[in-house]
Amino acid sequence: MSTVSSETDIRGGVQMGYKTILVLSGISTQDSMKYYAYSPDLTVGSIDQIKRPLKWWPKAILS
């Protein structure tokens, strides 16, 4: 199994200073994440599991 696409997406986001979310609906699995050089800020099994507001949103966005 290859996780290159998901890993490079997360790495690119982290290197740009972005917060990252990995959705485990593609080729990545929770187990494969231990081999990633970078970790996402949030990992979910499905996009509908992303709860808003995200914990890292600035308070100004929430007002």
Long-range contacts of 36-41 (CB under 8 A, 24+ apart): 36/3, 36/7, 36/10, 36/11, 37/7, 37/11, 38/7, 38/10, 38/11, 38/14, 39/10, 40/10, 40/13
pLDDT level of residue 1 (50, 70, 90 thresholds): very low
Residue among 22, 28, 21 nearest 4 (CA): 28
**Tokens read off for 29:** 């699995």
CATH architecture of 4-62: 3-Layer(aba) Sandwich (3.40)
Given a cut of 70, whether residue 60 has pLDDT beyond it is no
Q: Model pTM?
A: 0.77
The domain segmentation of the chain, as residue ranges, is 4-62
Looking at per-residue pLDDT, the higher value among 22 and 61 belongs to 22
pLDDT, tens digit, 9 for 90 and up, residues 5-59: 888 899 999 999 999 999 987 788 888 888 888 899 999 999 999 998 898 888 7
